[in-house]
Structures are given as structure tokens and as C-alpha cells.
Structure 1
């Protein structure tokens, strides 16, 4: 079905929970919150997806995306344990984890369009306008979303500092 190998299904189904987890966290908190139950689900499913990507990859770009995802995921979850970074750690965490979600969605959208519906996919060429438009939309969402997240974090920091100065 869909031309996916058994290992490909492990990769797909293992990483699938990361999508609703990320969507929930972005909608609820405006960012991926690593120290939460849903954040743990995101981490585990992203880890499964990134590691198994190396086993199912057929193109160099897949290895690059898998490696970048692992680095961003580990950095995003690990930076919270470095108290010396202070508030900058929150920015690093947010940027890394948002980029990891982007790297999840690009191949997800690409592979879905190239496989669905089964036997007659919407996209058969990597230069298809539909595929390029979908990928450009994801890039636009990344730019807008990251900008909004950073501005929100800056406002939170300023509000916290104003409370300290006023108090």
C-alpha cells in the first residue's frame, strides 16, 4: 500500500504522533514546550522518525534532513538543562524545536502528495507547481511563526523586567 516498505511503515507510524503533538503545542502555547507530557510525545515520536529516516532514506537530502532534525531536537530539548544561558536558552529552545517541526512537515507533505491517492498520486514530479507551492507555504509559515514566537518571547521578557523594575 502506497509503496511503503514495512520499515517505512515503522518510520511513518512512529513519527506520525509528532504532527498532532506539535499542532496542539503551537495552538496551546505558541511553541513546542519540551517539559510537558505532549512535549515528551513529540520528542519520542520525532526521535523515532529521525533515526529511522536513515534506514529508509534513498536520497542524500533525506539523510541531511534526518541529521538536522536530530541535532535540532537534541539541542532544543537539551538547552533547558543549561541554566548558564538564562533567557537566551528559551530563544534557542523555541527556534530549534520550531525548525524541527518544519523539518518534519516538509517531507511529510512531499511524501503525502507523491503517494496519495494510492496509484494516482497528486504529484509525480518533484518540480510540480502543487508540491513547490505546498513547500513554499510551509516556508512562509515557518518565517511568520518564528517571527511571532520571537516577538512574543521578547514582549514576555520586557513585561517581566518592567515588573521587576516597578517592584
Structure 2
């Protein structure tokens, strides 16, 4: 992939999520944009044979923690927790967010074997982006919550419009 395309995808992702890496040399956000088989095997000194899947695990846990604290403070029921978690963090909702915000347009795929952004790939993308923010921000829950809000994954669940659809 050319440097210009690399920069464009990365810059678009930064605008969409409203977060600009504090440690750009670590390339966490670039790693988050990779799907398995993208052709990138080493990013920031880390092996990424599985694309963004490892970061997606980190992001999934960070998002659950981000909504668990407010749920607990509200003294809400276990049923309410399960409903909130499923509504906000289901693959279907995360994929919807990835498509509606335009984040899927930032995904890096193998140009020889392009893939469609399936529900699972799009959901993994959002999870991986949140994982990248978590690591880049030195595990700042505030940074995670801010990006979740920007993407529409806050407690109100409203999705932000794709800023590039307005161009």
C-alpha cells in the first residue's frame, strides 16, 4: 500500500473517532485497521499475522469496562447490565456503527483478495480501534469512553454521522 493511501486511511480514522494517537510510533491505530490477510505482518515491532484480532480482544474488554462502571454506579439490576451490554456491544450494533460512521472505509485489506466488511469484520474493526485507543492512551478509561461517545456507543447509543459523507 502506498504511503499516501496509508496516511489517508489513518487520518480518516482519526477524524472519525476524534482521537489522535499520543504514541504514533507504536502504530496501534494502523494495526487496528488491518484485517487478517492484509499483508501486514509486523507493525510497531509487533507480529500481526491475525490482523486486528488481538487488538479487538483488548477493545472488547475495555468497552465492557467502560460501560460497567456507570451501570454499577446507577445501582442497576443484572438484567439491565445484560441488556445494555448486548445492545451496545453486540456484533450487529458494532458493525452498524462501523458502517454508519464510515470507519469501514478505513479498513486495510489485501488488494489481491479484497473482502466485504462482514458483520464480524466490521465489529472487530470497532473493537480493535477501541483497543488501540486503550493502549495508546496508557489505559485511559476516559479516552476509551470519549471515543465510544464519538462513535455513538455511549449510554444514549446515538451514532455520529460519517464526516466524509458530507464532502
Q: Same fold (TM over 0.5)?
A: no
Which protein shows a greater Rg? 1
Could you state the TM-score of these two structures normalised by the residue count of structure 2?
0.31
Instruction: Name the structure, 1 or 2, with higher relative contact order (CA <8 Å, separation 6+).
Output: 2
Could you state the TM-score of these two structures normalised by the residue count of structure 1?
0.31
